[in-house]
A and B are shown apart, each in its own frame.
Chain A
Amino acid sequence: MYPENYRYTKEHEWVSVEGDVGTMGITFHAQKELGDIVYVDLPKAGATLEQGKPLGSVESVKAVSDIYAPVSGVVVEVNESLARSPEKLNEDPHGAAWLVKIRLSDSSQVNQLMPAAEYQSYIGE
């Protein structure tokens, strides 16, 4: 369920790093708690993110939840397909429904995040 090579935040985001670029999204647990996701508000490419600060939000029919940056850096790519198909976030949150790709400004931040096993015990699974 939770890929071993991802790292996880307490706010239920994941990040997967290749080189100096991290791909991030929200976790399976997060989408389950939110229910049917109807809209995603994401930053534009070029935006500067700070670890732990909101980068956007996801909406269900009756709730809005902030998404927090798992790491600091600059947005290099945004998953535009989510604007048309927000349901992908319910269907494949760890894969096709990644949110943004971030060029990391401090790769050591990744090590502060939880590995899969720790995250799973954090959410009680």
Chain B
Amino acid sequence: MRYLPNSELERGQMLAALGYDSLEQLYAHLPKEVLLARALDLPPGKSEYEIIDYFRALGDRNAAGYACFLGAGCYSHYRPVMCDVVVSRGEFLTSYTPYQAEMAQGTLTTIFEFQTMICQLTGMQVANASMYDGSTAVPEAAMMAMRITSRSKILVSRTLHPEYRTVLGTYLRHLGAPVIEFGYDAETGQADWGDLESKLDDRTAAVIVQSPNFLGSIEDWRKAAALAHSKGALLIYVFTEAVSLGLLEPPRDADIVAGELQSFAHPPSFGGPYAGVIAAREKYIRQIPGRLVGETKDTNGNRAFCLTLATREQHIRREKATSNICTNQALIALMATVFLSVYGKQGLRELAQQNLSKAHYLAGGLPLRFQGPFFNEFVVKAGARTPDEINHELLGHKIIGGLPLGRFYPELRDCLLLCATEMSKRAQMDLVKKAIA
């Protein structure tokens, strides 16, 4: 096995040092009934070339070479080469959670930069070092709101990503926290504030609103915040399309922001790994889950960084911890940090502007289902044909069309959710328009 550095000679020397003459003696103390009496039923080891060949063949059985107009929580954005170059450095790739600050200043410094940029983008004052993904950041944010308010009822918009809503339900089911949905306006595709207001009460811990929402519409977070705050509840603002932050006014009235950063440099990768994040107002810093990096000094007076406020975490507080989360998604967060430094202040805005322009070009002349403002995603009515028939035709042009919405919203079974990004080409968009119109 080529990854094992010891030769038979060295194994023999080490065994001799231990007074053994076979490797089997190393586990001779294990009870017989637990030992595996046969070899594992797995094929023999493969060479590097065979492995590359195998995965290339698998890739070819996927949609290699197709243009894609799917969004729905996972966006196809160009990844600058620099992102891959930096995360491929062994010092980042093969390092561990930076507990030993003196030999992890690289990771710690980049996380501090990450936290800062997330704050700048979201209008919040504190951001953690990242979460598993957006879908798990949402229940963590909800539990955070429950701790802060000492309340348990959660009101969630039906236009929060349907899979996120399912994950929220899984997490909160056994914590005595009712999760109640409020609807959307059939005309605008935005939250139905009247429905929210009728369900808000002084037991409500948080109101969860996504913007742009799953149907693409941009929500009025000022209204959401005002309603939530009127009953002493918190507003949790969720985003799945991080590029929108380059152009949209950040949710300054929100209390907690939970989002998905996949758009910042990570290709779709069939659903993961991505990186989520939670940001919040300064006063909630001790209730935020996950890793936090703080600035300090070393004994020589140099600026240095370290993990901080660890007493919130499971390895110290055990069953009283803010969460059981141990890891962040440091490498993906690093990729996002590099992405944001490559694009920078002007670039992120220009990137967002291109997404907006492409999506509005694609939407032009199509039968839009909702009238609300949108960023780079929107819902169209399929018209005479079914969404599946349209998508089938597009596959013939090597184009993956939009998401048929019937799976998540039965009332929208005749609709497609379409997404355009800076990678969408005009000629392909024209084919999509033709297929739908």
Contacts and interface: CB of A to CB of B under 8 A. Distances in A.
A39 B286 CA distance: 10
Interface string B292-334: 0000000000000000001100001100100000000000000
B310 A61 contact: yes
A63 B286 contact: no
A64 B316 contact: yes
Contact of A39 (B311, B316, B320): B311
In this complex, the interface size class of chain B, counting residues with CB under 8 Å from chain A, is under 10
Interface in A41-77: 59-64
B286, B310, B311, B317 — most chain A CB neighbours (10 Å) = B311
A64 B286 contact: no
Nearest to A61: B310
> Which secondary structure dominates chain B's binding surface?
helix
A62 B320 CA distance: 15
Contacts of A61: 310-311
Interface string A7-28: 0000000000000000000000
Contacts of B310: 61-62
Contacts of B311: 39, 59-64
Interface in A25-41: 39
Contacts of B316: 62-64
A62 B313 CA distance: 10
A60 B317 CA distance: 12
Contacts of B286: 39
A59 B317 CA distance: 11
A46 to B, nearest CB: 14
B321 to A, nearest CB: 10
Interface of B: 286, 310-311, 316-317, 320
Q: Which 9 A-B pairs have the closest CB atoms?
A: A59-B311, A64-B311, A64-B317, A64-B316, A62-B316, A62-B310, A63-B316, A61-B310, A63-B311
Interface of A: 39, 59-64
Given A63-B311, A63-B316, 6 more contacts: A59-B311, A61-B311, A62-B310, A62-B311, A64-B316, A64-B317
15 contacts: A39-B286, A39-B311, A59-B311, A60-B311, A61-B310, A61-B311, A62-B310, A62-B311, A62-B316, A63-B311, A63-B316, A64-B311, A64-B316, A64-B317, A64-B320
